Structure 1
Amino acid sequence: MSTEAEYRISTRRSRLSFYAVLAVHALLLGAILLWQPQVWHWQSFAQWGLALAVVLSAITSAFRKTRTRVFNLDEQGHWLYLDEEGQPLQIDPDSRISPLMLWICLRPRFSHQPKQWFWLFRDAVSETDYRRLCRIIRRITVSKDVS
């Protein structure tokens, strides 16, 4: 029996993620609407068509339901999703920490399948869980740098 602590972490919808998606769509919309006018014949139709596509994409992205994920994590970075039949994963040393989000890289522990990458925004988990994840990622990335 292991004496190592194991944590149950659940994610929720992130407001920061919502704002990031809207900001990216706003940048795309601005880039489309700032084209030099009338460079080619049907440009205004193409421009407004692309602008409409970006606005529709922003609306669907903003109101898309995000799935709550639940996983177990231990101090060694062993990760196991509890809400699906998943394989055991390991936090990879390529993961990164920032004040607003974590860039998490997970690799399968017992197979040679590709790594999984995703953003985990600070407000998607509790403050305690965010700090815990930061500590574990920091420990894993520092141990990679030392070896």
Structure 2
Amino acid sequence: MLLVTLWGLVLLSVFHWQADIFPYQHFFQVILAIIILLLAYKTVQRTARVQPFVIAFNQQGQVNYLDRETPEQWQLTDKSRLTNWLLWIQLASPIDPRQRHWLLIFKDQVNVQDYRRLCRAILYQQQTKDP
């Protein structure tokens, strides 16, 4: 819903320009509005296809994807960050440490106990960082 609202604000801002600033302004605004609508449609369709995932992790920061056909194992890194409402989790492959990806987990996506567990795992990784 937030995504649709943001795209709506972008679209409305196109028609909030001062009138007759340059020749063919209305034509340009219509073309720009069509482009914005196409981008918004594509973005909404892409986010609708995103499937939730299931992970299991331990206190040492080892993460396993449980919903994949071939289980992947990742390691939580000390680059992960936490706030009161969002976790930025960086995962690195134990096989190739250069292979990394980020997870963004909002507080309302998981229950309170799991959010706290994830916070403790991030803090543990930050405290056990090799100097």
- Provide the TM-score with structure 1 as the length reference: 0.67
3-state DSSP class of the match of 2:48?
coil
The correspondence for 1:93, drawn from 78, 81, 85, is 78
Q: 1:141 aligns with which of 116, 119, 126?
A: 126
Cα distance change on mapping 1:57 and 1:72 into 2, 3 Å: same
Which stretch has the larger CA shift, 35-44 or 118-127?
A: 35-44
Indicate the structure whose relative CO is greater, using CA pairs within 8 Å and at least 6 residues apart.
Answer: 1
Q: Does 1:61 align with 2:44?
A: yes
Using a 3 Å threshold, how does the CA distance of structure 1 residues 61 and 36 change in structure 2: closer, same or farther? same
Unaligned runs of 5+ in 2: none
The verdict on how the C-alpha distance between 1:81 and 1:30 changes in structure 2, with shifts beyond 3 A counting, is same
**How far does residue 82 in structure 1 lie from its aligned partner after superposition?**
0.9
Higher Cα radius of gyration: 2
1:41 to 2:23 alignment: yes
Gaps of 5+ in 1: 1-17
SS class of match (2:60): coil
C-alpha RMSD of the superposition: 2.8
1:6 aligned residue: none
**Can you list the C-alpha shifts for 1:98-145, whole angstroms capped at 9, x where unaligned?**
22211121111111453112321111111111111111112212333x
Which residue is equivalent to 1:82?
A: 66
Given residue 68 of structure 1, which amino acid in structure 2 is its aligned partner? Answer: P
Residue 97 of structure 2 corresponds to residue 115 of structure 1: no
Select 1:50's aligned residue among 8, 32, 36: 32
How many residues in Structure 1 have an aligned counterpart in Structure 2? Answer: 128
Q: Which amino acid aligns with 2:14?
A: I
Could you tell me whether the CA contact under 8 Å between 1:88 and 1:110 is conserved in 2? Answer: no
The 3-state SS of whatever aligns with 1:48 is: helix
TM-score (norm 2): 0.74
